[in-house]
Structure 1
Amino acid sequence: MPVVTLIVALIAGLLTATVTEARTLDQIKASGTLIAATEGAYPPFNFYQGAKLTGFEVELAEAMAKKMGLKIEWKALSFDALLAGLGQDRWDMVIASFGVTEDRAKAVSFTNPHYCSGGVIVSKSAAMKDAASLAGKTVAVQTGSTYMANVKKIAGVKEVKNFPQDTDARSALVAGRVDAWVSDRFAVKTMLENNPALGLKAGGYLFVEPIATAVKKDNTALIGALNKALADVMADGTYKTLSEKYLKEDIRCK
């Protein structure tokens, strides 16, 4: 076999060997462990408290896994890498406050939403409260978020600056490097309650969206099991308890 042909064959063999498929529900149950990914930098939904990963979504996922008779193995990494890793079968599910959009639904499958929220404007001025007030302004958002996509659609915005983490976008506003920051209503609510000295003010919704867990495209058995587990924790009071613990209200979709 010619050297070039041999090299091509070896490369093809290596690529084939590394191709994997999403684990089926039966395989997950057989292992006893659900591999879940989140960001770990988005309080109060998923964040680190010292070395411990916690938050509303973390505890909710663990309660759902318990209903399924499973333990969770957590993976935490940057927000914009989460869905890509799901497509590469590096984990079974992603729960990280992903808004359900048509584009995302083409690449992954979503469970029923575990809460509904939307993007709100945060600034140092009470007058900056709607899309029209962002004309001529520089706005901070998180990379890969629906907030970035929606702010870019607003006519008249001077510049959209994106940051790896939502907290980085907030810091840019606090430091005066941008005029406004757009983020999730509940993340903003918690931040304002915990940091009143910053003097930041929240405006109105720019858009509203359902938030859901993502799994590999068309992994229907896993979707069904997660939906049942979510319904169970909503029915037995677990969801309400966790929601009020982290958000001081029940945030399920009405």
Structure 2
Amino acid sequence: MKKTLLLTLLAGALGTASARDLAAIKASGTLVVGTEPTYAPFTYTQGKKIVGFEAELAEALAGRMGLKVEWKPSAFDTLLIGLNQDRFDLVISSHGITPERQKAVDFASPHYCSGGVILARAGGPLTVAALKGKTVAVQLGTTYAQRAEKLPGLGSVKTYPTNADALQMLLSKRVDAFITDRFVAIEGRKKFPQAGLKLGEMLFQEKIGIAVKKGNTSLRNAINQALAGMMKDGSYQKLSEKYFGEDIRCK
């Protein structure tokens, strides 16, 4: 996914208190994890449980550190602010690693690579050129929203609180296209086969990472070590193929 926040908001959220380091987290036995659980198949809810690729990945990483996960769901555009206010130990919610975000938080090694694509109804715009004068939907606060604003000749960009909201606008013909993560687009097409949705041009690629509070090196190193172990022993590939039918790590 995903997404950009105003640096001024993040800077304002930075406090003098220190985040819990790995030793403090291990002493508690619990890793507090923030996410937006409306982003199938990465994090979403089944009943009262948060599930999905990133949910299982976070729990597997925590297990390798001898920890249990305490989930704290939050709106996407508040996650990094909450991280800097010590509401979470880490955030896993398909954040694209951007220079702007790296000024405010630290990222672990990327746990998958993706990119932004155009999703449209049959006969709709599937290329940047075809988007000229058209209206597109994007999720509020995302890197897709930021990049859509810069597309040449675009008619207008409408933002919505969640990807599900933006997709509904496309399905109801209130917008011409939806710019989103390619996995969200694939999931949307699978969920609504009767709509005849088409995947169009990929607009950009990005690396996705787990965020920790800036300077929390011990936790970031532990995440990187656990992630490298999963990628080496085949457990990452198994988990990835469960959700996507392929290994989605960065090549």
Q: Same fold (TM over 0.5)?
A: yes
| 1:25 to partner: Cα distance | 1.1
Letter aligned with residue 39 of structure 2: Y
Q: Does the Cα contact within 8 Å between 1:43 and 1:187 map onto a contact in 2?
A: yes
Residue in 2 aligned with 1:152?
Answer: 149
Residue from 41, 57, 62 that aligns with 1:60: 57
Letter aligned with residue 174 of structure 2: R
SS in 1 for 2:122: coil
1:179 is the counterpart of 2:160: no
Letter aligned with residue 237 of structure 1: G
Residue from 220, 237, 240 that aligns with 1:240: 237
1:140 is the counterpart of 2:132: no
Larger-gyration structure (1/2): 1
Gaps of 5+ in 1: 1-17
Residue in 1 aligned with 2:39?
Answer: 42
Residue in 1 aligned with 2:80?
Answer: 83
Residue in 2 aligned with 1:120?
Answer: 117
In the TM superposition, what are the counterparts of 1:90-101 in structure 2 within 5 Å? 90-101=87-98
Q: Does the Cα contact within 8 Å between 2:122 and 2:196 map onto a contact in 1?
A: no
| 1:159 to partner: Cα distance | 0.8
Instruction: Provide the aligned length of Structure 1 versus Structure 2.
Output: 237
SS in 2 for 1:232: helix
Q: Does the Cα contact within 8 Å between 2:110 and 2:208 map onto a contact in 1?
A: yes
Q: Does the Cα contact within 8 Å between 1:44 and 1:56 map onto a contact in 2?
A: yes
Distance 1:83 1:132 in 2: 34
Q: Percent identity?
A: 53
| 1:19 to partner: Cα distance | 6.1
1:73 is the counterpart of 2:70: yes
SS in 1 for 2:175: coil
Task: String of CA shifts for 1:77-120, please: whole Å, max 9, x gaps.
Answer: 11111111001111010000000111111111011000000000
Residue in 2 aligned with 1:162?
Answer: 159
Which consecutive aligned stretches of 4+ in structure 1 deviate over 4 angstroms post-superposition?
A: none
Task: String of CA shifts for 1:153-200, please: whole Å, max 9, x gaps.
Answer: 111111111111111000010011111001111121122123211211
| 1:20 to partner: Cα distance | 3.2
Task: String of CA shifts for 1:112-142, please: whole Å, max 9, x gaps.
Answer: 0000000000011356222222110111001
Task: String of CA shifts for 1:225-252, please: whole Å, max 9, x gaps.
Answer: 0000111111122111111111111100
1:209 is the counterpart of 2:184: no
Distance 1:231 1:130 in 2: 37
SS in 2 for 1:252: coil
Gaps of 5+ in 2: 1-14
TM-score (norm 1): 0.90
Distance 1:137 1:47 in 2: 31
1:220 is the counterpart of 2:217: yes
Q: CA RMSD in A?
A: 1.3
TM-score (norm 2): 0.91
Distance 2:155 2:176 in 1: 10
In the TM superposition, what are the counterparts of 1:180-199 in structure 2 within 5 Å? 180-199=177-196
SS in 2 for 1:156: coil
Distance 1:189 1:250 in 2: 15
Distance 2:191 2:105 in 1: 34
- Greater Cα shift, 205-214 or 190-199: 190-199
